[in-house]
Amino acid sequence: MKNAKRTTAAAVASGQQRRRLAAGAAVLAAAWACGMPAAAAAPAEVRIGVNNVVSDAPFFIANKKGYFTEQGIKVVFVPFDAGPKMIAPLGTGQLDVAAGAMSAGLYNAAARDINIKVVADKGSTPPQYDYMPILVRKALVDSGKVKSYKDLKGLKVAEAAKGGSPGSKLNEALKSGGLSYKDTEHEYIGYPQHVAALMNGAIDASVTTEPSATQAIERGAAVRLTNTDPYPNQQIAVLLYGGDFIKKQPQLAQKFMIAYLKGARFYNDALKDGKFAGPNAAEVIAILAADSNVKDPALYKKMTPNGIHPDGKINEASLARDYQFYKEQKYVDGSVKMEQVVDTSFVNAAVKALGPYQPKQ
């Protein structure tokens, strides 16, 4: 009899438990239907290689404005002192995303079947936004020794490294003066050292970037030889995706692109007439002064900002021109097709999801 009572009690308890579980499930279902999930999923981590330069702006903006959080992403910034150092960890999956300048190294990586793709613009030079100018020592211009690009023949010109976009820009400038790339001496030193080298006469000219360009001019070390960009709309810096990120996490890669483009658009709303003078300028300058390696807010108001296409569009014609330059200089081993390097599917889908860019009034 006692066993029977215990069995009956157990059955009653079991029935009560099932009813409680059913009720709980009903509550969860109702909450979900109302758009209130019971527990938010943990954010997905994305590791980004950065140089902490001004053109990393879309990352910093998207992080500060919560655009990554909106997409369920937690970003981890991994700093590098040079873009080429990101290539190996990006190819092995240690990095998911990287921000780097176009170079022969990217094409050589593609030739070795290292799956890295250029997926969006990160730094370009539309009209009024030539943030990588060619500077000449002021003394050479004042003396009349250098009046145009043809006068650079035999002079020492600095670039950040061999086989990069600065070399291709210099090549275009020299061609406009009837010269070739081999008609100048080439010095390879980091951008921050260009200012001192111009001041002490170690170099005669430089293909440099902001803020070094503004600093060199302000200190009286150099001048822009001309206000006309010898290579307009050059694709200088790009957003890169690692092959593992594309293959193994395509949905996350797509969400990342949406957040990135929102950051790029907010950045564009800080620009006006070749300066940080747009509606969002004060907020963008504050973000960059906090997160980039350019800490002086006053300097941003003097320098020329880099362009970033608000819809992330890549200038493939510029990439092809630079690739041809790398081939001519024998910086690239073998032949590489553009589709081995570029993947526009993510940025195209992001623009479709967000709609075309509408400037802030």
Across 329-348, average pLDDT: 94
* Local confidence band at 40 (pLDDT 50, 70, 90 cut-offs): low
Amino acid, res. 226: T
Cα separation values, 250 from 106, 244, 254, Å: 21, 9, 6
Asked if the model's pLDDT at residue 158 lies above 80, the reply is: yes
- Give percent of the chain with pLDDT exceeding 90: 81
The answer to whether the beta carbons of residues 98 and 118 sit under 8 Å apart is no
Across 217-234, average pLDDT: 95
Q: pLDDT tens, 46-69?
A: 999 999 999 999 999 999 999 999
Nearest in space to 262 (alpha carbons), one of 357, 136, 164, 159: 357
pLDDT, position 20: 52
* Local confidence band at 39 (pLDDT 50, 70, 90 cut-offs): low
Q: Classify 47 as helix, strand or coil.
A: strand
pLDDT, position 302: 97
| Buried b / exposed e along 263-298 (16+ C-beta atoms within 10 A) | bbbbbbbbbeebbbebebbeebbebbeebbebeeee
Q: pLDDT tens, 240-293?
A: 999 999 999 999 999 999 999 999 999 999 999 999 999 999 999 999 999 999
What the block records as the tokens of 206 is: 């430089």
- R_g of the chain, CA atoms, integer Å: 26
pLDDT, position 82: 75
Q: Classify 73 as helix, strand or coil.
A: strand
Specify the residue for token string 């296409």: 309
Tell me the pLDDT of the chain averaged across its residues. Answer: 90
Rounded Cα–Cα distance for residues 144 and 156 (Å):
17
CA atoms within a 13 Å half-sphere pointing along the CA-CB vector of 257: 31
All structural domains of the chain: 44-125+235-354 (3.40.190.10), 134-224 (3.40.190.10)
| Buried b / exposed e along 41-66 (16+ C-beta atoms within 10 A) | eeebebbbbbbbbbbbbbbbbbbbbe
* Local confidence band at 361 (pLDDT 50, 70, 90 cut-offs): confident
Q: pLDDT tens, 78-92?
A: 998 877 788 889 999
- Give percent of the chain with pLDDT exceeding 70: 89
